[in-house]
Copies of this chain bind each other. A is one copy, B any other.
């Protein structure tokens, strides 16, 4: 049984009705909420809090508490046996039930759903809307399948024959407030997933399992990389020594690469006067992403959500000539952007993050080559970190609503063409064009990467800006001694260092390559006897600027090796009597396994090679 995307949507939607039907059979007095489809599946909300029947057998292994939805109400915390419900759903599916759409009046609807207060509330709201909108909503649509009836717009499958009974699964239960408001009752939400076939379901489950193992929040704790707590504030990560070292290594690689490529370093403050944000237009267009101001001697200052206005100050420090262009400014700039606590997620969604930011200010005849250079640099940076699959998105104007964009027709045409040409000349074949995806201030290229388990992450962005050069009256003196407005290109290649770290931890599952690893080498003497020799090796490797740890002989050898493996340290150097006598070490590499005995000269050569080649 195969489905296209649209019919899979119908299958998922129909499964939510089947779920509700199955629950109703078991708990006839239950009150129904809503049951929509979501990414990969569906859910249905129920209010069990109505009779004694609410006390249901538990199946604790399948219960999960969602981070931001509070705990269940006490009554429904007793749990539901999802496997039993699944069985019941399969029974219903096998009855080849038809999904029949009917149109009924508001009066009929009230009667049909008389025992269902949440449905009645929805009907009441629809009636209100009908009055307000003055559109002719004469009737409401319902769907019937077997004994079950629901207020619903569809679409659904025609018959449960279309549903593969082996390609769905109920996944978890969580509490969720009716209509998402904590003023309303807490309902019990049952989630399910559904796919074309069992293979896809299994793949999905495997991916989920793999993703859970790689969850950077979990690895962040296990590998002692970072912590986030309430005392400091949510969305404000504190990097522990190992995480800070990893972050530093990533940052220094990016920074040094940019400096080699003729970027100039600048350093700017974290707050700026309201005057600046007014002039830049941020207070007009970006206010909802900015934090509330703090006052200093009667003037308001705001945490910077972007570095651009500061970089423009650097440009404007003196009168620029065409000889100064292209000017490429870079900063590892920490910005603060408002996020609701509900959407915060480890390092990938935070309230303060550091961009590997850069602004290229150039003349029109430099635009294409600068875009090409930025693209090439992006691919180089991402490839160095081991990402191989990229998706290039080109976001241009919606040609039907040209009035919504800043900058002249001529500039837009030039910029969009420059982007297209640059992509073409860079040999990039597959480009996903997003018409209308441009920001108001200019067209852009976004680069997504696929991680080790196939998930996509948007990291890099290269954006034109026609807005700020105008607002700040930026200019340069051209060859003919005339004032010209320069072009400005924003670019962040890792994007946010913090988000990048989150993605990178998941991509590598925390097994960082030697050049980045916070601890590169662990020395493990088999017993106390080799401790002197181990210490010599330790100090020697440190003098070679390596990040080394000596795991002393207080624990068993097995435990120390296991510890090194759990920490995912690239090189474990085991030292026994033989190695101490031979002046060697025995390499156990995290990825390559046991590599055996090697003398110190050979070891250093091997390690340095891995570092220079940035071997994965």
User: Interface residues, chain A, CB within 8 Å of chain B?
Assistant: 224, 227, 229-233, 236-241, 243-245, 247-248, 264-273, 275-276, 279, 291-297, 299, 301, 303, 309-310, 313-314, 317-318, 329, 331, 334, 336, 338, 340-341, 351-352
Which residues of B are found within 8 Å of A273, using beta-carbon distances? 230-233
CB of A356 to closest CB in B, whole Å = 15
Say whether, besides A227-B317, A273-B231, A301-B233, A266 and B239 are in contact (CB < 8 Å): yes
CB of A338 to closest CB in B, whole Å = 7
Residue pair B294, A265 in contact (C-beta under 8 Å): no
Which of A241, A243, A245, A276 has the most B CB atoms < 10 Å from its CB?
Answer: A241
Residue pair B231, A269 in contact (C-beta under 8 Å): no
Which residues of B are found within 8 Å of A296, using beta-carbon distances? 233, 291-292, 338, 351
26 contacts between A and B (CB under 8 A): A227-B313, A227-B317, A230-B273, A230-B275, A232-B273, A232-B309, A232-B310, A232-B313, A233-B273, A233-B296, A233-B301, A237-B269, A238-B266, A238-B267, A239-B267, A241-B264, A241-B265, A241-B314, A244-B331, A247-B267, A248-B265, A270-B303, A271-B352, A291-B296, A296-B338, A297-B341
CB of A496 to closest CB in B, whole Å = 13
Q: Which 10 A-B pairs have the closest CB atoms?
A: A241-B264, A239-B267, A236-B269, A233-B273, A244-B265, A244-B267, A292-B294, A291-B294, A244-B266, A238-B268
Of all chain B residues, the one with the shortest Cβ separation from A256 is: B545
CB of A260 to closest CB in B, whole Å = 8
Partner of A269, one of B238, B265, B301: B238
Residue pair B292, A295 in contact (C-beta under 8 Å): yes
CB of A281 to closest CB in B, whole Å = 14
CB of A481 to closest CB in B, whole Å = 15
Interface majority SS (helix, strand, loop, mixed), chain A:
mixed
Partner of A317, one of B224, B233, B272, B352: B224
Which of A230, A269, A336 has the most B CB atoms < 10 Å from its CB?
Answer: A269
Which of A264, A270, A271, A352 has the most B CB atoms < 10 Å from its CB?
Answer: A271
In the complex the two chains form, what is the Cα distance from A352 to B296 in whole Å?
A: 13
Of all chain B residues, the one with the shortest Cβ separation from A221 is: B317
In the complex the two chains form, what is the Cα distance from A248 to B330 in whole Å?
A: 13
Of all chain B residues, the one with the shortest Cβ separation from A273 is: B233
Which residues of B are found within 8 Å of A231, using beta-carbon distances? 273, 275-276, 279, 313
Residue pair A240, B266 in contact (C-beta under 8 Å): yes
Residue pair B227, A271 in contact (C-beta under 8 Å): no
CB of A304 to closest CB in B, whole Å = 10
Of all chain B residues, the one with the shortest Cβ separation from A274 is: B233
In the complex the two chains form, what is the Cα distance from A51 to B240 in whole Å?
A: 70
Which residues of B are found within 8 Å of A229, using beta-carbon distances? 313
CB of A506 to closest CB in B, whole Å = 20
In the complex the two chains form, what is the Cα distance from A497 to B232 in whole Å?
A: 25
Say whether, besides A240-B317, A317-B240, A232 and B269 are in contact (CB < 8 Å): yes
Which residues of B are found within 8 Å of A334, using beta-carbon distances? 270
Residue pair A240, B279 in contact (C-beta under 8 Å): no
Partner of A239, one of B237, B268, B303: B268
In the complex the two chains form, what is the Cα distance from A262 to B133 in whole Å?
A: 69
CB of A300 to closest CB in B, whole Å = 10
Residue pair A297, B352 in contact (C-beta under 8 Å): no
Say whether, besides A227-B313, A294-B293, A265 and B238 are in contact (CB < 8 Å): no
CB of A87 to closest CB in B, whole Å = 43
Which residues of B are found within 8 Å of A267, using beta-carbon distances? 238-239, 243-244, 247-248
